[in-house]
Chains A and B, each alone.
Chain A
C-alpha cells in the first residue's frame, strides 16, 4: 500500500516535471515564434520561398509523371506536349521568383552581417572606453592628483621633470 502510494507520487512528479520542462529552458524559446518572424519583411519572403519550393516539387513530380505516362503510351504526343509546356512554363516562373527572393534574402543577410560587424566593432570600442572611464572615475574619487615624475635609468630614483641630472647618483636624466 505504502509502496503503491510512493509509486503514484513518483509518477505524478515525473509527469509534472516533464510538462514544466519547457518553462525552465526559456533561453531555448526566446526566439520569435516562427523563424519567419525574425524580420517581418524577411519573414514574409521566407514564407513565400517555402510555398514556392513546395509548388516546385509538385511540378517536378507532375512532369515526371506525364513523361512516364507518355512513355507508357497513355498520353498522346499532343497531350504530352501541351501538359509539358504548361507545367514547364509554371516551373520557369516559380524558379525565376525563387531566384529573385534568394537574391533579396542574400542581400539582406549581407546588410545584416555588415551591420552586425559594425555593431560588434563599436561594441568592442565602447567596452574599452567604459573600462577607461571607470578607472578615471575611481582615480578621481580616491582624491589623488597626477604628479608627473621622471625615473632615473641608473638608480631608479623618481626625479623632477625639470632636473637635468639625478640628485642621487648624478646620472644624466633622459626624456
Chain B
C-alpha cells in the first residue's frame, strides 16, 4: 500500500493545482463546466488524501519498519491505539493529517454550496486549493511520510513516552481541526475580495466556520493544558511555551473576529477591519505551524522538526503580500453603512474587546519571536519567559473579563443614563460585595481580588440576562422549562454566547486561584515518614520497582490524611522506557493527582535512593474549575452552532400608503 499512498499524494498535488486553475479561469471567463470541474478536483483531492492516510495507517498498524516514518515513531511493544495516534507524532505524518483535514473541509464547502454563489465560490475553492497545494507540496517533495529505509530494521525507535497518553490521542487532532479550520473563513474573505462580491454573504459563511475553528482551538488548547498538567510533571498547565503561544495567538485573533463580525452583521460596520482581522488570524495560524515545525525556537513541544522552515516563510510572505494587495485594491468597496453613535454603546465595547485581543496577540507574538530577533541582532537566543507574558497579558485579561460583562447589558448605538443605571446596578453591587467578602476572608492579592470581582460581575450579568429572558417568555405564556428551552433555541447565538462566557469565567477563576494561591513543598522522606502541606499530611509508605514489556517502573506508595482521617492513596512513578522514542530522554515522570472541587494535591517523585525518596508536593487550588469551564464553554459553543429551526420571520405588514405621503411619519 506504500506505493498507492505515495502516488496518491503526487496525484493530489497535481489535481489541487488543476483545481486552482480551473476555478479561477472558469470564474474569469464565466465557464460553468470549468468551475464545476474545479469543484470536482477539490473533491478528488479529498479522496486521494484519504487513500494516502489509510495507506500510512495500514503501515503503522502493521509496523512496517521499511517505512522510515513507521520505524522512527513506533515499536513492537506499542499499543494499537498509539500506533494510530503516531500518525501525528512526527513531521510528515502530522503534515499529512493537516492536508487531510483541509481537504475534508474543502469538500464540505463544495458540497454545502453546490450550485450557489457562483460569483463567490470559485475563488473560495481556488484559495482553499492553493493552501492545500502548498501543504501537499511539502509531503510530496520535502517531507514524505512514505520515505523508505535502505534496510528494514528489526525494531522501531518507539513513540515518545509522553505522547503515550489519552489526551495526546485527541489534543493534536482538535488543535489541527482548529488551525486548519481558520483557512475556510480566510478563503471566504479572499473569495469576496477576488470576486468583488463584498456583501454580507462572505461574512455570514465566515462567521460559522470561524466559530467552528475557534471551538476546536479552544478545545485543543484546554486538552493541551490538561496533558501538560498530567504528563510534564512540573505542576502547571501553561508555561507560555512557543508552541503553546503558536496556538494561542490565532485563538486570540479568532475570538476578536467572532465578536466583530456581529457588528458587521447588525450594523454594517467594520467591513475593512473584519477583512484585515481574518487575514491576520490565518497568518497567525500558519505562523504558529511554522514555529512548531521549523525548530527555529526551542520548545518542549518540538517533536517534529526538519528543513521545511524556509518553505513556510516563503508561503507566509506570499499570503501576506497577496492578501493585502487585493485588500488595498478593494478598499473603496468596503465602505461602512453606519457610523459610531456613542462611546457608550455595544459597538464600542466590541471595538475595545477587539483592540485588547489583538493587543494581547501582538504581545504574545513579540515575546515568541524575541529569541529570533535577539539572535539576529545580538547573535544569541534570549528566551522570553512567563514573567513578561504574565505582566502584559494579565491586565489585558482582566479588562476583557470586565467587557464580557458590559457587552451583553449595554445597548447598540447609544446607551442612555437610564439604561446604564437600570442594567448595571446589580452587577456592580455584586462586584463590590464580592470584593468585601474576599477581603474579609483574608485575600489581599490585588489581581486576585479584581479577577474574582469581575468574574462575579460577569456571572451576575449572565444570570440576570437569563432571568429577564425567561420572565419575558413566561409573560408570553410559556412555563419555566419551556421558557428556558425556547429562550435558548430561538436566540441561540445570544444565549449560547452567555454560556460560553460562563465557561470562560470558570476557567479564569481556576487560573487565578491556582496561580495566586498555589502552595509547594519539597522533602526527602524515609519509609514511614510524613510531611504536611496545607491541610494534608502525606506519609511515604513504600517504594516498589517492577518491569513491564515497555518500561521499568519505580513507584512510591503514599497515604494521604486530612487530620487523622485517611482520605486516599497515591502512587507517583518514575519510569525508564526500553526504547528512546523520538527524544534523547527515555525517562518519564508519572505524577499522582488527587482532585477535588477545591484543590488538586499534586505529588511528583523527583528522586530515590535506597529506602529514601524525594518528593515535590503542590497544592493547586481550584484547577478542576478550568476543566469544568472547558466543558461549559464547549456546551455554549455547541448551542451557538446548532442549526436553527426554520422560524417564521416576523412579517411586518407595512402599508406604505396608509393615508400619508410621508411614510416615516406614518409609521
A binds B: yes
Contact residues of A with B, CB < 8 Å?
4-5, 7-8, 11-12, 15, 18-23, 25-26, 29, 31-34, 51, 54, 57-58, 60, 62-66, 68-69, 71-76, 78-79, 83, 85, 88-89, 91-93, 95-96
Q: Closest chain B residue to A9 by CB distance?
A: B7
Select one of A15, A64, A72, A91 contacting B44, CB under 8 A.
A15
Q: Which residues of A contact B664 (CB under 8 A)?
A: 85, 89, 92
Q: Which residues of A contact B15 (CB under 8 A)?
A: 15, 19
Knowing A19-B37, A73-B422, A92-B654 touch, does A33 contact B118 (C-beta < 8 A)?
yes
Q: Does B652 make an interface contact (CB < 8 A)?
A: yes
Q: Which residues of B contact A68 (CB under 8 A)?
A: 469, 472, 491
Q: A11-B51, A22-B37, A92-B663 are in contact. List 19 more A-B contacts (CB 8 A).
A: A7-B4, A15-B11, A15-B15, A15-B48, A22-B33, A31-B32, A33-B32, A60-B649, A68-B469, A73-B468, A75-B411, A76-B416, A76-B419, A78-B416, A83-B412, A85-B667, A88-B654, A89-B664, A92-B664
A51 to chain B, nearest CB (A): 6
Question: 0/1 per residue, B1-29, Cβ < 8 Å to A?
Answer: 10110011001000100100000000000
CA distance A63 to B650 in the complex (A): 9
Cβ contact within 8 Å between B468 and A89: no
Q: Which residues of B contact A76 (CB under 8 A)?
A: 416, 418-419
Within B258-294, the residues touching A (CB, 8 Å) are: 265-266
Select one of B1, B36, B491 contacting A22, CB under 8 A.
B36
Cβ contact within 8 Å between A29 and B33: yes
Q: Does B43 make an interface contact (CB < 8 A)?
A: yes
Cβ contact within 8 Å between B37 and A60: no
Q: Which residues of B contact A88 (CB under 8 A)?
A: 652, 654, 667
Within B457-478, the residues touching A (CB, 8 Å) are: 465, 468-469, 472, 475
Cβ contact within 8 Å between A33 and B468: no
Q: Does B301 make an interface contact (CB < 8 A)?
A: no
Please report whether the interface of chain B is mostly helix, strand, loop or mixed according to DSSP. Answer: helix
B194 to chain A, nearest CB (A): 16
Within B89-126, the residues touching A (CB, 8 Å) are: 118-119
Cβ contact within 8 Å between B199 and A51: yes
Q: Which residues of A contact B330 (CB under 8 A)?
A: none
Cβ contact within 8 Å between B416 and A79: yes
Q: Does B489 make an interface contact (CB < 8 A)?
A: no
CA distance A66 to B119 in the complex (A): 33
Q: Which residues of A contact B649 (CB under 8 A)?
A: 57, 60
Q: Does B340 make an interface contact (CB < 8 A)?
A: no
Q: Which residues of A contact B656 (CB under 8 A)?
A: 92-93, 95-96
CA distance A63 to B259 in the complex (A): 20
Cβ contact within 8 Å between A11 and B48: yes
CA distance A34 to B30 in the complex (A): 8
Q: Which residues of A contact B43 (CB under 8 A)?
A: 18
Cβ contact within 8 Å between A4 and B1: yes
Q: Does B58 make an interface contact (CB < 8 A)?
A: no
B528 to chain A, nearest CB (A): 64
Select one of A29, A74, A91, A95 contacting B32, CB under 8 A.
A29
Q: How many A-B residue pairs have CB under 8 A?
A: 125
CA distance A143 to B650 in the complex (A): 79
Q: Closest chain A residue to B26 by CB distance?
A: A33
Q: Does B31 make an interface contact (CB < 8 A)?
A: yes
Q: Does B409 make an interface contact (CB < 8 A)?
A: yes
In the A-B complex, list the 6 residue pairs whose CB atoms are closest, starting with the nearest: A33-B30, A22-B36, A29-B32, A89-B664, A29-B33, A22-B33
Please report whether the interface of chain A is mostly helix, strand, loop or mixed according to DSSP. Answer: helix
Knowing A23-B33, A76-B419 touch, does A62 contact B667 (C-beta < 8 A)?
no
Q: Closest chain A residue to B663 by CB distance?
A: A92
A64 to chain B, nearest CB (A): 6
29 A-B pairs within 8 Å (CB atoms) are namely A7-B4, A8-B3, A11-B11, A11-B51, A19-B15, A19-B40, A22-B32, A22-B34, A22-B36, A22-B37, A23-B33, A23-B37, A29-B31, A29-B33, A33-B30, A58-B265, A60-B652, A68-B472, A72-B468, A72-B472, A74-B409, A74-B423, A76-B416, A79-B419, A89-B663, A91-B654, A92-B656, A93-B663, A95-B656
Interface size on B, residues (CB 8 A): 54
Q: Closest chain B residue to A85 by CB distance?
A: B667
Q: Which residues of A contact B51 (CB under 8 A)?
A: 11
Q: Closest chain B residue to A54 by CB distance?
A: B200
A148 to chain B, nearest CB (A): 60
A32 to chain B, nearest CB (A): 8
Cβ contact within 8 Å between B650 and A79: no
Cβ contact within 8 Å between A18 and B44: yes
Q: Does B370 make an interface contact (CB < 8 A)?
A: no
CA distance A96 to B658 in the complex (A): 13
Q: Which residues of B contact A93 (CB under 8 A)?
A: 656, 663
CA distance A21 to B43 in the complex (A): 13
A172 to chain B, nearest CB (A): 74
Q: Does B527 make an interface contact (CB < 8 A)?
A: no
Within B429-485, the residues touching A (CB, 8 Å) are: 465, 468-469, 472, 475
Q: Closest chain A residue to B419 by CB distance?
A: A76
Q: Does B381 make an interface contact (CB < 8 A)?
A: no
Question: 0/1 per residue, B414-429, Cβ < 8 Å to A?
Answer: 1010110011000000
Q: Does B413 make an interface contact (CB < 8 A)?
A: yes
Cβ contact within 8 Å between B650 and A64: yes
Cβ contact within 8 Å between A72 and B36: no
A97 to chain B, nearest CB (A): 10
Cβ contact within 8 Å between B4 and A8: yes
Cβ contact within 8 Å between B411 and A79: yes
CA distance A88 to B18 in the complex (A): 49
CA distance A92 to B48 in the complex (A): 52
Q: Does B234 make an interface contact (CB < 8 A)?
A: no
Q: Which residues of B contact A11 (CB under 8 A)?
A: 4, 7-8, 11, 48, 51
A99 to chain B, nearest CB (A): 9
Knowing A23-B37, A57-B649 touch, does A15 contact B416 (C-beta < 8 A)?
no
CA distance A79 to B412 in the complex (A): 10
Q: Closest chain A residue to B3 by CB distance?
A: A4
B160 to chain A, nearest CB (A): 32
CA distance A85 to B31 in the complex (A): 46
Q: Which residues of A contact B37 (CB under 8 A)?
A: 19-23
CA distance A58 to B11 in the complex (A): 44
CA distance A76 to B475 in the complex (A): 19
Cβ contact within 8 Å between A75 and B419: yes
Cβ contact within 8 Å between B33 and A74: no
Knowing A8-B4, A8-B7 touch, does A62 contact B266 (C-beta < 8 A)?
yes
